[in-house]
Amino acid sequence: MTALIQVILLLAGFAALLKGADLLVDGAVGFARRFHIPTLVIGMTIVAFGTSAPEAAVSITAAMEGNSAISVSNIIGSNLFNLLAVGGICALIRPLTVKRISVIRDYPFHLVITAALLVMFCDPFLGTGAPFLSRGDGLILLLLMGMYMYMNIKDGMGGDGHEEPAENISVPKSLLFLVLGLAGVIVGGRLVVDSSTVLARMMGISDTLIGLTVVALGTSLPELVTSAVACRKGEADLAWGNIVGSNIFNILFVLGFSALLSPIGIDMLSIYDTAVLLIVSVLVYLAAAPAKKISRPIGGAMLAAYLVYAVYIILR
């Protein structure tokens, strides 16, 4: 009976995720078009921050409880999943067109902060002891977050007006869809993680493997489902903005705030994973920037790369 209840909760979680993502995309697009805000900006702010709520909850709670090392593994793992798996799946559904502003500003900014994070991790090797993310590092990340938000708000207020006016979706309805959609993806993701964890333990799967697979995947489900639904509806800007924006939010706000609460000790595996994240981020940029597009073959390669990485982290 317990297993049956968990299966029902699992299915309910997936249903909430799918419906929530559907409402979230409709609300975000309606809101953006009504106020002539580029859909990419909405994807990189409201939608990205909302779908990153599970990562924020896990990492910040871990920091408050003194288990701040979990913050790093959760964030780096989620960012790799977002970029390679979510980006790859979206490109397979519909080739992703990457706007010029993303090529020259947003994605390079993502590369710079990922490189900066790796430098912060390795800085103590210069003579100050074991690697860690200090409160000072956290403050720097949060200040960069403020700068990033300012850039996006400025872009939003100076919308070029090229978005078509929304049809049949009023501002109150768009906001209602946004709120209900965010609630759906967050609650649905939580149900999927909790029920999957219980079922995995009932099958005798270790907590370590559960953490590396079920929990890591579960906290990234909102990004995956929301971006996939956006692609299916032809909203590539929203999908790409959600992926890049979520990764930026994870590094700058979630890790920054976690480090501000409690300095984070860094193990060598996290440093290796961050280096992998930086390398694959550069490769994706080099593949997508010339044509301003992520084609299906590139998407397939991205997804295959993530599957190889997933096997590696499970076996190591």
The predicted structure's pLDDT at residue 131: 65
The answer to whether residues 12 and 196 touch, using CB atoms and an 8 Å cutoff, is: no
Task: Decide: helix, strand or coil at residue 37.
Answer: coil
Distances from the Cα of 115 to the Cαs of 110, 112, 170, 249, in angstroms?
Answer: 9, 5, 42, 15
Long-range Cβ contacts of 284-291 (<8 Å, 24+ apart): 284/83, 284/84, 284/87, 285/107, 285/108, 285/111, 288/96, 288/98, 288/103, 288/107, 289/98, 289/103, 289/107
- Distance from CA of residue 181 to its chain's centroid? 16
**Regions of the chain short of the pLDDT cut 70:** 1, 58, 62, 65-71, 123-131, 155-169, 193, 205-216
Q: Which of the 8 DSSP states describes residue 165?
A: P
The predicted structure's pLDDT at residue 102: 86
The predicted structure's pLDDT at residue 297: 95
Q: 211-241: per-residue pLDDT in tens?
A: 556 666 777 778 888 888 888 888 888 889 8
**Prediction pTM value:** 0.81
Please state the length of the chain.
316
A 10 A CB-CB count for 243 gives 30
The predicted structure's pLDDT at residue 66: 67
Alpha-carbon gap, residue 162 to 178, rounded angstroms: 22
Task: Decide: helix, strand or coil at residue 212.
Answer: helix
Alpha-carbon gap, residue 153 to 100, rounded angstroms: 18
Residue 173 CB contacts under 8 Å (≥ 6 apart), including other chains: 27, 30
- Distance from CA of residue 114 to its chain's centroid? 14
- Distance from CA of residue 28 to its chain's centroid? 17
Distances from the Cα of 54 to the Cαs of 1, 43, 59, in angstroms?
Answer: 28, 17, 9
Helix extents (H) in 203-235: 207-210, 216-232
Beta bridge partners of 293: 97
